[in-house]
Structure 1
Amino acid sequence: MLRARASTFWRVPNTRLVWHMPYTSRAFRRTVTTVPQVHLKLKMASRTEPLQPTDGPMVWIDCEMTGLDPETDRIMEIAVLITNGNLELVDEGIEYVIRVDKEHLDGMGEWCRKQHGQSGLTNASVSSPFTKDYVSDAVFKYIKKWIPAERKGVLAGNSVHMDRVFLMKEMPEVVDWLHYRIIDVSSVKELVSRWYTHPSQRVPSLVQGTDDRHRALSDIKASIRELKWYREHAFVTPLR
Structure 2
Amino acid sequence: MTGLNPESDRIIEIAVLITNGNLDLVDEVGCHYVVKTDKQALDNMGEWCVNQHGKSGLTQEAIDSPHSPLEVAARVLAYIKKWVPEQRTGVLAGNSVHADAMFLRAKGPDSEGLIKGIWSDIMEHLHYRIVDVSTVKELCWRWYPDVARRYKEQVAKESTHRALDDIRGSIAELKFYRDSMFK
Query: For the residues of structure 1 that align with 2:147 and 2:121, how far apart are their CA atoms?
Result: 43
1:89 and 2:25 correspond? yes
Q: What TM-score does the superposition give when structure 1 sets the normalisation length? A: 0.69
SS in 2 for 1:108: coil
Between the two proteins, the alignment pairs up a number of residues equal to: 171
Q: Considering only aligned residues, what root-mean-square deviation do their CA atoms show, in Å?
A: 1.4
Q: Which one of the candidate residues 55, 65, 76 is aligned to 1:139?
A: 76
Does residue 158 of the first structure (1) align with residue 95 of the second (2)? yes
Post-superposition offset of 1:206: 4.8
Q: 1:208 to 1:198 in 2, by over 3 A?
A: closer
- Report the CA distance between 1:201 and its aligned residue: 5.7
Structure 2, unpaired ranges of 5+: 107-115
Which digits, 9 at most, give the CA deviation of each residue in 1:187-220, with x for residues without a partner?
000111111123686423552334x321110111
Maintained 8 Å contact 1:156/1:183: yes
Q: 1:206 to 1:220 in 2, by over 3 A?
A: farther
Give the helix-richer structure, 1 or 2: 2
Deviations 1:2-30 (A, max 9, x none): xxxxxxxxxxxxxxxxxxxxxxxxxxxxx
Q: TM-score, with normalisation over the residues of structure 2? A: 0.89
How many Å separate the matches in 1 of 2:124 and 2:150?
36
The answer as to whether partners of 1:207 and 1:222 remain within 8 angstroms in 2 is: no
**Would you say 1:217 and 2:164 are equivalent positions?**
yes
d(CA) in 2 for partners of 1:103, 1:208: 35
Residues in 2 aligned to 1:78 and 1:233: alpha-carbon distance in whole angstroms: 30
Pick from 165, 168, 182: which aligns with 2:130? 182
Higher Rg of the two aligned structures: 1
- For 2:67 and 2:156, the matched residues in 1 are separated by 29
1:124-147 deviation digits (Å, cap 9, x = unpaired): 000100000000000000000001
Match of 2:142 among 172, 180, 194: 194
Within 1, Cα distance between the matches of 2:172 and 2:146?
21
Which position in structure 1 is the counterpart of 2:152?
Answer: 204
Kindly report structure 1 stretches of 4+ aligned residues shifted beyond 6 Å: none
* Aligned counterpart, 1:39: none
What residue in structure 1 maps to residue 66 of structure 2?
A: 129
